[in-house]
């Protein structure tokens, strides 16, 4: 499949993986051989062997500095016995992904815009021996908002009262009128 705005084709490892409503909005090649493609659902990272999509709600931070796009993906925290009653997912920052882009690309603008727009509301929750950001995130293709607790690097999520306080903050954020609670377009 040819991209309408480029002469380049979709990488073969991505062919057939896009959802029916998932159009490619930008594409860039990194110096390490990866191809980065943006869609309404997330950022695809493609090489000769695999294609992986990172949803916009799964990116904590994105930064472009000196031609290097750095993404910090979110990783789920295993809660074992601490079941969340209000669909509050608990996440931590993962290992950063870095891509050196040979020239300025529309991909970086798309990444920054989409990650920012995925956050409907957020509040930092300071806590002794814990702490983190409680956020409501838009998920493309899904109605409603996803609650996330993004733990600080050294946070003990089982610090007394912390999870209860995070649930309270998420509830308060949900009661605040949010504009556009459906997924990012």
pLDDT of residue 177: 64
pLDDT band at 79 (very low <50, low <70, confident <90, very high): confident
What number is the average pLDDT over the span 52-65?
95
Given a cut of 70, whether residue 130 has pLDDT beyond it is yes
Domain residue spans of the chain: 26-175
Going by the DSSP 8-state scheme, the letter that residue 58 receives in this structure is G
pLDDT per residue as tens digits for the range 38-54:
999 999 999 888 999 99
For residue 182, pLDDT beyond 50:
no
**pTM of the complete model:** 0.85
DSSP secondary-structure letter at 169?
A: H
Residues 159-178 have pLDDT tens digits of: 999 999 999 999 999 998 65
Beta bridge partner(s), residue 132: 125, 151
pLDDT at residue 185 tops 70: no
Task: Out of 69-78, 100-109, 140-149, pick the least confident.
Answer: 100-109
List all residues 6 or more positions away from 69 whose beta carbon is below 8 Å from its beta carbon: 30, 36, 62, 63, 98, 99, 100, 101, 107, 108, 111
What pLDDT is recorded for position 104?
67
Please state which CATH class domain 26-175 belongs to: mainly beta
């Amino acid at each position: 499949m040819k991209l309408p705005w480029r002469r380049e084709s979709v990488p073969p490892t991505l062919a057939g993986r896009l959802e029916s409503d998932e159009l490619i909005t930008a594409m860039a090649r990194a110096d390490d051989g990866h191809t980065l493609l943006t869609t309404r659902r997330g950022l695809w990272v493609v090489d000769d062997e695999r294609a992986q999509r990172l949803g916009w709600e799964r990116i904590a931070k994105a930064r472009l500095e000196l031609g290097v796009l750095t993404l910090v993906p979110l990783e789920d925290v295993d809660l074992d016995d601490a079941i969340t009653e209000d669909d509050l997912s608990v996440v931590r920052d993962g290992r950063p992904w870095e891509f050196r882009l040979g020239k300025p690309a529309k991909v970086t603008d798309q990444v920054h815009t989409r990650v920012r727009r995925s956050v409907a509301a957020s509040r930092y929750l300071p806590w002794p021996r814990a702490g983190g950001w409680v956020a409501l995130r838009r998920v493309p293709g899904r109605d409603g908002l996803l609650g996330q607790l993004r733990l600080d690097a050294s946070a003990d999520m089982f610090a007394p009262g912390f999870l209860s306080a995070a649930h309270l903050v998420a509830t308060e954020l949900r009661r605040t009128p949010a504009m556009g609670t459906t997924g990012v377009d």
